[in-house]
Each structure stands twice: as C-alpha cells, then as structure tokens.
Amino acid sequence: MLILFLSVSCSISSVEDFVVGDNFIKDQTGVVMIDTLTIQSSSIKYDSIVSNSSGSFLVGSNYNYFSGYKSSNSFLTMKFDDEIEDTEFVFDSLRLVLNYNTYYAGDTTVTQTLSVYQLQEQMELTDTYLYTTSNFKCDPTPLATINLKPKPNSHKEVSIKLPSKLGNRLAQMIKSKNDTITTQDLFLKFFNGLAIKCEPNVKGAIVGFRTSDSGTTDETSTTKSTIETKPEIRLYYHKDPNPNDVHDLYYKFSFVTDGIYFNQISGDSSNSLLDGISETNNERSSKLTNKNTLLQSGIQVFTKIKIPYIDNLLKIGKNSALVGATLRLYPIKGTYSSTTLLPDTMYVYSADHRNKLINQITLPGSSTNYAYAYLTIQKDVEETVFYEIDVSGFIESELQQELETNLSLMIGYGSSAAKKTAEHVILGGANSGKYSPELNVYYYHN
C-alpha cells in the first residue's frame, strides 16, 4: 500500500516571497508549498583529504564535544634564500620565525606545547598528492620545544631558537660558500625539511601561519626586516670587526613556496558523539547524536540529508509542475560564539548509497551554475540563523530518473577550505524541534 508522506499548504502568504524563475511560469496564483516531506539526517566522516599546498600552515589542537579532539602538524621544506656578502662574521643564534595569518579555531587562551623536528627523509608526493594522513620520518629528538599561548591577530612573530650546533655548521658552510648551501637540490638532500608538531589532545586552538610574505622589505634597513614573512630560519650574526656596532644581521633560509608542504591532521573521537565511527562504518544517524549533525573541516565530516519518499511527489497530478525547492539547515544556538565565525558558504554534493560523493548539485537548467548552502541571518523579534540551499535542480533530476537512484545530499566544506581550516558547525538534525531541517517544495497546479 502506498503511503504519501507529504501534505500541501495552500496559503498564498507562505509563498509570496518565493520568486519563480522565468524558465518556469509567469503566474504565481496556482503555486502551492509542500513542507512535510520526510527527512533523514546523519553525519558522515571521511578518512582523509588532499592536504598539500594548502595555503596555510595549521598547528595546534582543539576540541568539540561532537567529534572530540583534532590535532594538526605542518611539514615543510626550506632553501637558502640570500646573497652571501659577508663571510667574516661571528655566529650569534639560529631561529625559526613564523608569522600568524590571523586564522584560528578553538580556545586561544590555552597554552600549548609545540616542537620542531628535522625530517629524516625527503618528502615525496603520492600520485601528485599528499593527504592529511600522510607522514614522513622525523628525528626522534626535537630541534626545539616551546610553550605558546597563540595570539593570531597580534601580527607578532613566533621566534623559536634552534640548536647552536646546527647554526655553527650552517655558518661555516655560508662562510665557505659551499655548494650545498647555494644549490637548492643539494640543500634539500642535506636538510630534508621540518615538521612543526603540537601536543595532541589539548582543548586549545589550531592556529594558522603564513605561507607567503606580507608587506615589503625595507631596503634602507640594515636588518632586512619584513613586515610579515613566510616561515624563515634566520642565522643571526655580527661582523668581526664591527666598528659601527651593527647587530641583528642575518642570513635567511626560506620556506619553499613551490615545493612540497602539507598539514597532517589527526583526531581522537573517544567519548564523543562520533566515538567508534570508522572508515568502514563512517555514518552516524542523528538519532544517535542528540538529534544533531556535524559539518567539519580538517578531519572532514559532512551532514547527510536523505529524502526517502521523494518519488511520491510524482503522485501529485498530471497537471502540476515543480517550480522550485529550498532546504534550510539551522546551526544550534550556543555551539558557536558569534555568527561571524560561521562560514558564509558550504558546498552541496549528491552522493550514492555508499556515501560516495558524485558531484556538486547545480541550479535548475544548468550544468555549470552550482547550488551552495548560503548563511542567512534574519533579524526580527528574535535572530534566526540558517543555511539555505536551492535544491530545485537536485529534486527535478531525481524525479526524472526512470529507476530509483537512492541519492542523498551531502553538505560540507569545499576541498580548499577543508585542508586549510580546522573548524566545525553543529546543525539540527531530523526531529530536533525548532532546529529541524526544513524542506519546502513548490508546485504549480494548472
């Protein structure tokens, strides 16, 4: 027996704000809204994402009650990036200098322990990619360890003192103008690179560091300082003799911007709502997660929306036509400190019954104009915050299929944001009261 899981609302006031596209109809008087299609929701965790050339170094550890801990380490290569002018000098110190890019996710009031390791092997791409799960061998003993309370908006350098033994060795190579210093390929074999690692499972913040320079070099300055630089190893020295008492001179080894670098991001979901979720069992129904779902970057988690009885729309009648459809998803108030921290846009994909992403959904009548989840803030008596998606094209495509496709909608961070951020949004799932997803389908009856 066929059960029609929908009802029809014919109130004209409920559809007055819905703009009908020119490719559909001119007259809105026959438009009705169907707003009670059954929705099922869940959270889907993916094993890893492409992470190389992310555009941001992410270092640190943060926490949320839904998915647990996330920890991010950065791997990078360096090159000698200077002209050897002074060879008569005295080595002073060797320092790794990092500059914030203002990004952070988590609690920046928590002090974290960061360690710098030298790589024991050269990094290589796997099929032109590196992933958040990639790894390369490091020396067991760190070059340096610091305690850091991050200040991502301070525009202050993070300076980490490296061993004098390494500094003296590099100083001697500079003085002799050794080919290993001046030839990039030789230097990479000598110095494979660095890994900047955090202490895992800390309820702190994951912060971003620059991968490119900001500002310009002051050519009149004797210290060659830059406003904000990509990662640099600075070999500080002073001249001998030094009649003008000039200090803070340095030779620099810079991050190789066109080389191999990536963020390694791991998680611990123990005692969280996603405890036990795995690569082979990567779906968790919102019925088991307090009727909520998760969007997450870094360790990528999508919100899945399934409309199991979508084909029942075909039973409405022969003289009816789909005008459009919108889906609203509501972030849970209290799980974000400010709406300014919510992403403006999320990506929306179709996925098969194995939760494999197929493609981005498109707007009706187009194969290139994609539909996105746009953050909307309505301020009336009470502020209402939601993501709205035009799912007209998806529903239209599903209804046109001769065979049942069993496709779902997947909402999450796009690949670019997913590999250079480590944040999350908690949404209301099916049957979560005022935060429940709202699917409104508009039909025209002749």
pLDDT given for residue 422 in this prediction: 96
Residue 31 falls within a domain, yes or no?
yes
Range of the domain at 368: 8-47+279-445
Domain's final residue, options 266, 289, 322: 266
Residue found under tokens 């904000």: 228
Domain end among 266, 293, 314? 266
Say if 235 falls within a structural domain.
yes
Q: Among residues 325, 343, 322, which one has the least CA distance to residue 411?
A: 343
Residue 227, pLDDT score: 72
In a domain, 242, yes or no: yes
- Cα distances from 388 to residues 330, 385, 407, in angstroms, run 9, 10, 20
Looking at the domain assignment, is residue 53 inside a domain? Answer: no
- Asked if 358 contacts 349 with a C-beta cutoff of 8 angstroms, the reply is yes
Residue where a domain terminates, one of 266, 294, 327: 266
**Whole-prediction pTM value?**
0.87
User: What b-and-e string marks burial along 307-339, b requiring 16 or more CB atoms within 10 Å of the CB?
Assistant: beebebbeebeeebebbbbbbbbbbbeebbeee
The closest of 211, 51, 198, 61 to 131, measured between CA atoms, is: 51
pLDDT tens digits, residue range 251-310? 999 999 888 999 999 999 999 999 999 878 899 999 999 999 999 999 999 999 999 888
Looking at the structure, tell me whether residues 291 and 394 fall in a common domain. yes
According to DSSP, the residues that pair with 94 across neighbouring strands are 162, 235
Tokens coding 315: 């039973």
Q: Say which amino acid occupies 277.
A: I
**Do 174 and 234 lie in a common domain?**
yes
- Are 163 and 111 members of one domain? yes
> How many domains in the chain?
2
Gap between the Cα atoms of 398 and 403, Å rounded: 9
Q: Is residue 271 part of a domain?
A: no
**Stretches in the chain below the pLDDT threshold 50:** 1-26, 217-226
Check whether residue 163 and residue 261 sit in a common domain: yes
Does 288 lie in the same domain as 167? no
Pick from 150, 153, 159, 158: nearest CA to 204: 150
Amino acid at 301: V
My answer on whether 132 and 245 are in the same domain is yes
Token pair recorded at residue 39: 């929705």
Q: Does 15 map to a domain?
A: yes
Whether residues 110 and 131 share a domain: the answer is yes
For residues 320 and 195, state if they share a domain.
Answer: no
Q: Are residues 122 and 17 in the same domain?
A: no
Within this chain, do residues 338 and 257 fall inside the same structural domain, yes or no?
Answer: no
Closest CA relative to residue 305, chosen from 272, 349, 336? 349
Residues 102 and 198 in one domain: yes
169 part of a folded domain: yes
- Does the residue 274 lie in any domain? no
Same domain, 244 and 353: no
Residue 224 falls in which region: left (phi positive, over 0), alpha (psi -120 to 50) or beta: left
Confidence (pLDDT) at 13: 33
Q: How far, in Å, CA of 170 to CA of 374, rounded?
A: 52
The DSSP output letter for 365 is: T
